[in-house]
Amino acid sequence: MKKSRVLNELKAEFPSLSENEALARLLVSGFISQLNPMVDELSDVKTAVSEAVTNCIVHAYRNTVGKVRMLVRIYDGSEVYIRITDTGCGIENLDKAMEPLFTSSPDEDRAGLGFTVMESFMDTLSVRSALGKGTTVTMRKKLRSRVQKDYNAG
């Protein structure tokens, strides 16, 4: 099996402020637009990133402000890799947190669908978490690019 090459990479770090959820969507959208993705795929990726960043803002750093790190890579073959990391409180029971409709904030009008949305819009979803150390969400999606670019040309 051929190993994929990283063709481009974006790294961003920003405070866990609610207004930065829109920033994360804008960054990922602008960055992957070089692949000329289908509109529905672009929307899927933006929504998944929004959910991951919102989890950091709402849950990881409850009542505090911390750092959210985002890494986006484009691999040959139009695959997008996204990693969202926080160093917040971590998730006590990851299996439970991944269940649809589970929320650790039932009094706050939260639907408990964040991980479900991420999983349904991306090809793969992986979540690692450690109490007191933070959480890392890794997602991948293969895009059906409308026009393939030749990154080796000129």
**Burial track 2-41 (b if 16+ CB lie within 10 A, e otherwise):** eeeeebeeeebebebeeebbeebbebbeebbeebebeeeb
Question: What whole-number distance in Å separates Cα of residue 100 and Cα of residue 87?
Answer: 24
Annotated catalytic residue, options 21, 41, 51, 119? 51
Does the annotation count 146 as an active-site position? Answer: no
Annotated catalytic residue, options 20, 55, 73, 119? 55
Annotated catalytic residue, options 36, 79, 83, 110? 110
Does the annotation count 51 as an active-site position? Answer: yes
Active site residue ranges: 51, 55, 110
